[in-house]
A and B are shown apart, each in its own frame.
Chain A
Amino acid sequence: MRRSLSAFPSVTWRFRFSLSVLLAAFLLAGCDETSVLPFAEHENYFTVFGYLDAASDSQMVRVIPIRLKLDRPGASDEIDGEVYLHALDTGTTRRWSLMEETYNDGSQGLRFDDGSFGFVFLGRMRPVPGQMYELEVRRKDGKTTRARTTVPVVPAPTVEAPREEGGAIHQTVVVPGMTTAPAHLRLTFRVFSPLFDRQPGKPVSVSLSHDGEGEATAAGWRLNVNLTQDARAVRAFIAANLTQFSTIPAVEDVATFPLTLQDLRLSAGVRDEAWDFVVDDPDLGRLAQPGAASNVENGFGFFGALGWGSTDWELARATAAAIGL
């Protein structure tokens, strides 16, 4: 049961206590910090994605300035960054240029499908196998993001003699020293045909991918190629794309139209060691963690290199005829 306050003179200390609590609360309210800092300080400036391809004369790298908002850059955004590639073994440096296109709406830059714009830099050069390169992305204030890569030296594949198996001609190719599958295995057929009248006398090259095929052996990565089957694929490709090479619109019989093999080339593209994160069934959630699958200093992303080794050879005429070329 409640009684009036005057009946309890001894409780005045409780009022003082209550007032003190109120006063203390007001004082606390006026002097403490309520702001929050969403971003931590750090020394990472750019994310880069790209690789040097020893089989190409044009190299590209995507440069993404680390931004403080989720939205991607728009047409009006410019990049505060220049890209240089240093060949560390020779001491030479090349500056790469920003790729830009002009679109129908007048905007310039490089526009992606989602309407945002990005920054891709182009370097006109062919990297040399065995050499180490350093990519540098430099801001105007001197802050830089760097990544180093060495272009792999890939030994020339060795080719064994063709053999007949199960009614088809097979040939074994070994990429010496390779214990894991090369990133690329391409078999290129260079063929002639009297039908090729657009550039008479010039052979046509048809490359077939054998990526992921083969097995590891003590001698290296061993690939067994079914030449008969591949030759059929070459014929089918040329028949389907004949107008690129000929004024004749079509062939009557894909299996028999005149086509002659000049030679074969096997090319093996091999990633540098920093690319070890590549597996058959990648866990993208993990690989995307900042720092995971990255060789970039003061930034994120990945910059690698792809080296190539290749071997050319000819088939005996009888063997070429046996596979249908």
Chain B
Amino acid sequence: MSYRYRLLFLFVMLLIAPEAPAQTGGVRGFVVDASDGQPLQGVNLVLLRDGVLAAGAASDGDGYFILPRQPAGTYLLRATFVGYTPYEETLTLRAGTMQTLRLRLAPRETAIDEVVVEAEQASGAISTAGLQTIRAADLDRIPMPGVTGDLVGQLRAAPSVISVGDRGGQLFIRGGEPTQNLILLDGIPLYQPFHILSFYSAFPAEIVNYADVYAGGFGASYGGRLSSVIDVAARNGNKERFEGGVSVAPFLSTLRLEGPLIKGRVSGLVSVRQSLVEEALPNLYGQKLPYRFGDQFAKIHAQPTRGSSFSITAIRTTDRGDIAGTKKTLLGDFDREAIADSNEVAWENVGLGTRLLILPGRLPVLAELTASYSRLDTELGLPEDPEREAAVEGYDAEASFSYLMRGRAAKLGFFARQTTLSYALGGLFQEVPNVEETTMREAGAYLELDLPFASGLRLTPGLRLHAFPDQQYMGVEPRLRAGYTFDGAAGAQQVSLAAGLYHQGIVGLTDERDAGNVFTAWTASPEDDDVPRALHFIGGWQTRYPVDEETNLQVSVEGYHKVLQNLFVPRWEAFPQFTTTLQKADGRVNGLDARLEVTHPVFYGYLGYGLSKTMYLSQDDVFGTFYGEEQDRYHPPHDRRRQVNAVAQVFVGPVTLSAQWQYGSGLPYTRALGFDDWLYLGGLDVDLRKEVGQYRVLYEAPYSARLPEYHRLDLWLERSFEKGRLSGMLRTGVVNLYNRDNLFYFDLFTLKRVDQLPAIPSIGLKLEIQ
């Protein structure tokens, strides 16, 4: 071990090591909701000795807590959480022992005088330095054309999450591309979990417990992606009683069943959702909406002992549809023949994973073992004869050990991953089918510390060693997250920052010339080149300010800067065909997010504003001949400069009126000068009377024009009702209320414009038995 590593090890030990009395004991365990067995995050746990505070901790996302290293004696353990009856238990801690408990907190009956507390708990996402923690209750804040909330609604409302249209399921987060997002469901990586109609994802409110969304600056326990992390923890089924729900709506209908398999110990949860939009909606404006999608989710969760839990999660999503389903002529008339053409895209995710949490022996350690399988298949073209196909299949295994001591924590993890990437590209303009299959391995380790200080400062430094054996590359990735909380004149405030270095070995290729193209071909970064990497810098400030007894105001502002290096993008070519010839590019992303959120018992308001600029720079000597300079500087097709999201909800008894208005400035696109045919005269053996040549598009400089800006208003009215164990909700509303012609993309080859959804009314009913 080198001197530097020895010094680092010593530093880590000093930071987390306590004083070492021999005669100490401790307590640890999991906190769950007594009514359904769900883990409770953020429960405040304290040990009191003779009425004096001896130790304190908060439960994590699994409900896990630990209060170690206390002198032997009798203590009062108190657990408190907003909305729950406080729990108290007298404990006798013996020297050299670690008691393991399973605490069950009972939900408190709500009363009028608790309204403020409830409003505060339910207020929107917590965000610090790129991290937004979204809880299940937040998902229903954003109205959807259906009856249930969805994680994607919250994501699309975030200031710097760009969706290029209302179909395709592609999310660009702070300048990153969809293939640069790491999306996890109970630790299972999912490659394309957003549905073809972008209102929906594989993460509906019914199955989500919470989600940590890192728009950047994520810690050392995540890696292998350049842009962001969406880490979704699925709910466990109810361990106490059976319950279920059913909803019927034209866009998406759902069925959910859950309940105890072994009462109090093992639960199951099954959710099935299927779109009916193709069948239920009549022809609108002379066209159908040719989209079919759905998902099936199942989870079994068990707590075999007080000190362990085990879960198996399985998910499958399916999507198929004509991405250009609402096509118009150049003059704006709806094209009744559009449905006959072949712009069909389809994808299927399959994921299966297990997760085991163990509190081993007397050690103050939480061990977490995960293993998963995930596969994505994508195809473009008619189902019986697709023009293009691509697949990515991955096996992941990870073991981590969290060592908690007096409020400080160290997490050490090891991971291994094997991913097989393949594509077969054919099609009208593809003269030779382009087929490739690559297997890529990744392995490594990480160490992350969590160091809170009494001053309000909290540091989370980390280091990740991420090896890419096939590229013969070792990524050494330092990470840092920091927050400083203090009380200012405007209430509780927090200043936070995050920085880190990230690498990504797999490359997702899309045809960048076409903003509407959602087909992705997966491959590995070339072996003889550096692995793509990114540097993130984020700084933010937020405050939560109680305006009056009932009104809370939350404001946050966050700036970010990303440096992208060694990216691989498809080379810009004039032939109208998908190219997998890679070209290196670097990038810069700068931006600013601002959020304002108001919560009140009868009103909820949210305003998000995102300002960003993404620039790519790639080198190609032929560019100089026509475009003026050999360095091709361009703003990629997801470079939306300004984005506004406004949500207003008014609650009048059981009735809720919701409005959401979205605005996005125009996305870059490339104009053409026209078309011709191209002949290579180099060999002098071209017979001009016989050689027709290759189709060629005479592009203007890449992305030198902008599409029209986008905005849309959705309006929803819902009424909820409850009778005994039966509850329900009836929701009706309109997407794109003022029927704006929001352009999705322009098909240069057919001279047809493809618009986003027109005004579409919707009505849905949800029933739940609890």
- Which residues of A come within 8 Å of B, CB atoms? 1-5, 7-8, 11, 14-15, 17-18, 21-22, 25-26, 28-30, 32-40, 42, 44, 47, 49-51, 60-62, 64, 66-70, 72, 99, 110, 112-114, 116, 118, 120, 183-184, 269, 271, 275, 277-279, 282, 284-292, 294, 300-302, 304, 306
Contacts and interface: CB of A to CB of B under 8 A. Distances in A.
B548 to A, nearest CB: 8
Contact of A300 (B110, B623, B698, B709): B698
B513 to A, nearest CB: 12
Contact of A36 (B672, B695, B740, B746): B746
Nearest to B657: A18
Interface residues of B, number: 86
Nearest to B747: A38
Contacts of B574: 285, 288-290
B698 A26 contact: no
A245 B210 CA distance: 89
Given A288-B696, A292-B626, A304-B681, A3 B602 contact: yes
Contact of A40 (B110, B691, B705): B705
A9 to B, nearest CB: 11
A28 B506 CA distance: 42
B690 A113 contact: yes
A109 B742 CA distance: 44
Contact of B676 (A14, A36, A61, A300): A300
Contacts of A72: 677, 692
Nearest to A27: B738
The 4 closest A-B pairs by CB, nearest first: A291-B626, A112-B692, A29-B738, A66-B674
A47 B625 contact: no
A1 B115 CA distance: 5
A49 to B, nearest CB: 5
Contacts of B550: 8
Interface in B109-129: 110, 112, 114-115, 118
Interface string B656-673: 010101000000010111
Interface string B685-719: 01011111111111110001101110101010000
Given A14-B605, A21-B661, A66-B698, A37 B692 contact: no
Contact of B601 (A8, A114, A284): A8
Contacts, number: 215
Contact of B653 (A4, A38, A291): A4
B684 interface: yes
B688 A36 contact: no
Interface stretch (B42-50, B194-202, B575-583): B575-583
A40 B670 CA distance: 9
Contact of A278 (B620, B622, B682): B682
B646 interface: yes
B664 to A, nearest CB: 13
A301 B161 CA distance: 43
Interface stretch (B147-155, B270-278, B748-756): B748-756
Contacts of B602: 2-3, 5, 7-8, 11, 14
Nearest to B689: A120
Nearest to A14: B603
B312 to A, nearest CB: 37
Contacts of B648: 14, 17-18, 21
Contacts of B339: none
Contacts of A67: 674-676
Contacts of B695: 70
Contacts of B571: 285
Contact of A37 (B118, B688, B705, B742): B705
A25 B711 contact: yes
B713 A22 contact: yes
A272 B572 CA distance: 29
Contact of A286 (B118, B622, B746): B622
Contacts of B709: 32
Given A8-B602, A286-B622, A288-B696, A32 B708 contact: yes
Given A15-B650, A22-B659, A68 B675 contact: yes
A288 B575 contact: yes
Nearest to A37: B671
23 contacts: A2-B602, A11-B602, A14-B650, A15-B650, A21-B659, A25-B661, A25-B713, A25-B738, A36-B743, A39-B673, A47-B677, A51-B684, A69-B675, A70-B748, A285-B574, A285-B581, A287-B680, A288-B574, A288-B575, A289-B622, A290-B574, A292-B625, A300-B676
A107 to B, nearest CB: 15
A301 B681 CA distance: 10
Scoring A25, A26, A287, A300 by chain B CB atoms within 10 A of each residue's CB, the highest score goes to: A25
A282 B574 CA distance: 15
Contacts of A50: 681, 688
Given A29-B740, A110-B689, A289 B623 contact: yes
B682 A288 contact: no
B743 A69 contact: no
Nearest to B677: A64
A29 B112 contact: no
Nearest to B749: A70
Contacts of A269: 684
Contacts of A291: 622, 625-627
B751 A47 contact: no
A51 to B, nearest CB: 7
A74 B452 CA distance: 75
